[in-house]
A and B are shown apart, each in its own frame.
Chain A
Amino acid sequence: MSNNILTQNDIQHVDYKDVDLLKQFINPHGRIMARGKSGLTAKQQRAVEAAIKRARFMGLLPFIQK
């Protein structure tokens, strides 16, 4: 079984404001999960990365978390 959250929930677009969704793709330190761990396709992974970085810039997600 794949653990691709985006495909399982039929999500076509990733929005930087969906903090709850993006939190699924960062580890407790706030770092972005590797593709192997997130289970996303390359295209999805790029979209998630861009969204997380936008969310970080806007202070919705942390850059680092101790």
Chain B
Amino acid sequence: MAVSNGVSADEAVMEVNETEVQDAPALRIYEVGYHIAPETKEEDLEKVVATIRSIVEQAGGSFIAEGAPSMTKLAYPMFVREGEKTTEYDRGYFGWLKFEAPVAVARSLEESLKRDKNLFRFIVFQTVREDTRAKYKAPQLREVKRTDVIKQAPRRVEETSAPVSEEDLEKAIQDITAE
């Protein structure tokens, strides 16, 4: 149902551009990032994500990309107050969702996420359809070329290997003395 809605809305947008009709809902690309509380069980993560998805789907949104929640260490401790109680978080399951939806969704999604007790932080913002993840690899601090590599003495290798013929030995001695 969501897909068919999305398609019809897409056509509606085209109409807006052509004839400037006011009543068609404009679709925009949004991304939502969230932290699920670390005490949540691994098997319940899917349920929490499903509730977020259902909010978007009910409002006629369609999904573009998704990042599954994974345990992430926070760069600083976060404190969340719930009445009298304050909870400190130093880690959380971080996941994200990218979707296309009418403008009103952004606000209603924020409202309902605020009420979600499983999430201790989230962000909703407008973005672009293209994949924004950069394929960038941070450079290593320094690539040191080792110059002090110890080369195995060839003499030893010969000793450990199969018996050497007299001729080879003589040749080797001559090579050494010639230098």
Give A residues with C-beta under 8 Å from B: 5, 9, 11-18, 20-21, 23-24, 54, 56-63
| Contacts from B to A (Cβ < 8 Å) | 33, 35, 67, 72, 74-76, 78, 92, 94, 96, 121, 123, 125, 128, 130-134, 136-138
A23 partner residues in chain B, CB cutoff 8 A: 138
B45, chain A: closest CB distance, angstroms: 17
- B128, A17: Cβ atoms closer than 8 Å: no
CB <8 Å contact, B123 and A18: no
Which listed residue (A5, A17, A56) contacts B33, Cβ 8 A?
Answer: A17
Complex Cα distance, B67 from A5, in Å, reads 26
A-B contacts, CB under 8 A, total:
60
With A58-B33, A58-B94, A59-B92 already in contact, the answer to whether A13 and B134 are too (CB < 8 A) is: yes
* Contact partner, B137, options A12, A20, A57, Cβ 8 Å: A20
Q: Is the CB of B132 within 8 A of A24?
A: no
Known contacts A11-B134, A62-B75: does B123 contact A17 (CB below 8 Å)? no
Greatest chain B CB density within 10 A among A11, A56, A59 is at: A59
Q: Are B138 and A58 in contact (CB under 8 A)?
A: no
Let me know if B136 and A16 touch, CB within 8 A: no
Assembled-state Cα–Cα distance A13/B134 (Å): 7
Q: Which of B72, B76, B133 contacts A15 (CB 8 A)?
A: B133
Nearest B residue to A54 via CB reads B123
A24 to chain B, nearest CB (A): 7
**Please, which residue of chain B has its CB at the minimum distance from the CB of A60?**
B75
Chain A residues with CB under 8 A of B133? 15, 17-18
B132 touches A14 (CB 8 A): yes
Measured between beta carbons, the chain B residues less than 8 angstroms from A63 are 75-76
Give the chain A neighbours of B131 by CB distance below 8 A. Answer: 13
How many angstroms from the CA of A22 to the CA of B92 in the assembled complex?
21
Interface contacts beyond A21-B136, A61-B75: sample of 20 additional A-B pairs, CB < 8 Å, sorted by A: A9-B136, A13-B132, A15-B132, A15-B133, A17-B33, A17-B67, A17-B96, A18-B136, A20-B137, A20-B138, A21-B134, A24-B138, A54-B33, A54-B125, A58-B33, A58-B123, A59-B76, A59-B78, A62-B76, A63-B76
